[in-house]
Chains A and B, each alone.
Chain A
Amino acid sequence: MRNQLKFRSIFPVVLSMFLLLAGIQNLYAQNAKKNKIRLKADYVKIMDGDAYLDIKVTTKIKKKNVKVANIALTVYNEFEDEKIKLGTSTTDIKGESIFIIKNVDHIKADSTNTYTLKVSFTGNDAYKKASKRISFKDAEIAAKLISKDSLNYISATLIDKSTDSVITGEALVVQVQRLFSPLRIGKEFNNTDENGTIIVPIQEGIPGVDGNLIIEVVLDDSDTYGTLKTLINAPIGIPIVDESSYDQRTMWSPRDKTPIFILIFTNVFIIGIWGVLLYLITNLFKISKSKI
């Protein structure tokens, strides 16, 4: 009886403790702090190619910037009070996403011919909502390869498309595409003149596959125009002679390209030695059959 009483009083206490703790847990979960994310978006336009937003998402953990993967982003075109959805994108394992602007002509610009795009994240269990707005004007680089007195030059003109006028005083970079990072040629900064043009000489002797050089003219991260890039195929390089021994029979080739002398020596050895061994084994049979 005494024990029963004890049990009756202990049970509600235990139950209430459990519920209280569970409640605290829930309370704690609801109040768990969400991290802030930082959005970075750059407008990039490749002449005769795509225009896209280069988006990077990071967060700060223990005072260090950490890339955030799997963040669902929506891109809008903001025009006056209108907000037109252009599409969605998700960050990859490096916290990066490329959002290709499919129909540039359908994007609406304001009265100053400025386009405004907004990259928006609605938030999730781990991160607060965030957005980033970028504005740019449409421009283009018209570049060509010219030859004068046996010397080669790159001529490039920067044009504001909205007004169809040349842009002066902007720094363009001229570089040759290489395997790891581009090789800059000419001066560090080539500012466009009053005609919106730069002329950069290309030094001789730059090697390229079959003598072809891919030369880039870049307006890098302009506040007004974003990043513009044009590619010129210039057959003015020194052809790279392939000195690879890939197709040859070498000691370091795969098995189907074994040097002939190795094939001959090894096979002669195997056949020779094992031939003698087989002869010796047959001698054992001969001995067992021999009666005289």
Chain B
Amino acid sequence: MKNFDTLIKDLAPKKFGKRGVIWIGFLLIIIIAGIIAYIDQIIKGQVVTNMRDYALWGIYISNFVFFVATSFVGSVTVAILRLTNNTWRTPLVRIAEIIALAAIIMAGITIMIDMARPDRILNLFIHARLQSPITWDVIIIPTYIVISLLLLYFPLLPDFAILKKYFKTKQPKLSKRYGFLSLNWIGSKAQKLLQEKSIKIIAFMIIPVGILLQTIDAWLFSTTYRIGWDSTNFAPYFISGAFVAGVGALVTVIYVVRRFKKLEHYITGSHFDKMGKLLALACLIYLYFNINEYLIPAFTAKKGEAVHLETLFSGSYATLFWFVTIVGLIIPILVLLFKKGRKPLPMFFIGLIVVIGSWWKRFVIVTPTLLHPFLPIQGVPESWHHYFPSLHEWLITVATLAMALLIITLLVRYLPVIPIQRTADEQGLLKIDKNTKS
């Protein structure tokens, strides 16, 4: 058992080393390239993309769906584990909250990137049609951003107070900022009561709101009658997919943070084992919904549906479809069934391929359906029958992914990634009110 000072020393944010600075520089270069491409897109219009009348939703929308899915990690890992009193969650929840916040912020930004006239964004509110799932999306995303922010912030209050004291002599300026963010936290009974009550409310609230967010995201597609989307299975299919993407992202980020912050004593092999079981469960549920989504239409397919399925199973999207199904879903399940597969390093690679598979899965959901239009247009150019993102689209999309990573990186840099006070409480170390006295 460590003493409290060692605990703070281990968990308090530290300056980045050379590798951290290079990493941030690398992300900034990608982001700047994306911003330049986006400015060009604003000036020239969406003609710079490869989206046309058929593929009118391209990589931006699939990227948006990926971000929304990833943000589900906040509901699953944090809220469910918190409400079910799984104490092993403690060193993982903060990273999950950070990922959820970064992902949902980037989802909001990505949807604006897809708008040809972002200056008209207010019209979405002013002229909102409440029957439209797009309006529901406009309502639910800001709501989820605020909930995710509060879910991250409330548990941080005691930690900010600890950091204020810890940095008081070393970095007074930083100490002042932590002091400001701690909202005069002294660990009083009244404060604790308010904090615990608030966290409980958020934990309860984020589950239905998170499910609603994924459901609305699914309804954006399934209310359109389009082949491949017109499915009553779509909402649970999206929720289970989000479960996979979120937990996959969490495993990957946790491994990297653990390694570079040297947190092996706090995030142990046992945590990875449990996360591995959770990921395996998520993948199995998602596989079940995938079978429902593709097998039943394969039996009952009308002509249009049959053409769509043929494109996925053996046609132009077959490689991608089987990659996301086998590599992104089945192989992770098989590996995670074994204890050795749930060790940190294999888990990192599994998490990584699950995330990559999840990203391409959204591409497979969005694009092939659009290339089989419900009302085909006569005499369209041959190029409209195919879609592959343009350089602008790639630069902008990769920049949004880099932005999400930058948000995560900066939050990991300035926040204690493992809750200090909670860990101290669980380990029976010193009480907060003694430690925060200035």
Contact = CB atoms under 8 A, between A and B. Distances in A.
B143 A266 contact: no
B436 interface: no
Chain B: interface residue count, which band? 20 to 34
Contact of A266 (B130, B146, B186, B201): B130
Contact of B188 (A270, A276, A292): A292
Nearest to A254: B129
B188 A258 contact: no
B213 to A, nearest CB: 12
B183 A263 contact: no
B424 interface: no
A287 B191 CA distance: 5
Contacts of B197: 283
Given A273-B209, A292-B188, A284 B183 contact: yes
A285 to B, nearest CB: 8
Contact of A287 (B131, B150, B195, B201): B195
B201 A251 contact: no
A204 to B, nearest CB: 37
Contact of A276 (B130, B136, B195, B205): B205
B183 A277 contact: no
Interface residues of A, number: 29
A252 interface: yes
Contact of B183 (A259, A269, A288): A288
B130 A262 contact: yes
Contact of A262 (B131, B153, B189, B190): B131
B139 interface: yes
Contact of B184 (A258, A273, A274, A288): A288
Interface string B124-150: 000111110000100100010011001
A273 B189 contact: no
Interface string A262-281: 11001001100110110111
B188 A251 contact: no
Interface in B321-371: none
A277 B146 contact: yes
A286 interface: yes
A2 interface: no
B188 A253 contact: no
A263 B135 CA distance: 12
Contacts of A290: 184, 188, 190-191, 194
B139 A287 contact: no
Nearest to B223: A251
A266 to B, nearest CB: 5
B191 A258 contact: no
Contact of B143 (A250, A251, A277, A289): A277
A255 interface: yes
A283 B153 CA distance: 12
A252 B131 contact: yes
B130 A292 contact: no
A115 B189 CA distance: 108
A106 interface: no
A254 B130 CA distance: 9
A270 B136 CA distance: 10
B202 interface: yes
Contacts of A263: 130
A259 B131 CA distance: 8
Contacts of A62: none
B143 A274 contact: yes
A64 interface: no
Nearest to B205: A276
B157 interface: yes
Given A262-B130, A284-B153, 7 more contacts: A251-B131, A255-B129, A284-B154, A284-B183, A287-B191, A287-B195, A290-B194
18 contacts: A250-B131, A255-B127, A255-B128, A259-B131, A270-B139, A273-B205, A276-B205, A277-B146, A277-B147, A280-B150, A281-B150, A284-B153, A287-B183, A287-B191, A290-B184, A290-B188, A291-B186, A291-B188
Closest 10 CB pairs of A and B: A288-B183, A255-B129, A290-B190, A251-B131, A283-B198, A258-B130, A266-B130, A288-B184, A290-B191, A287-B191
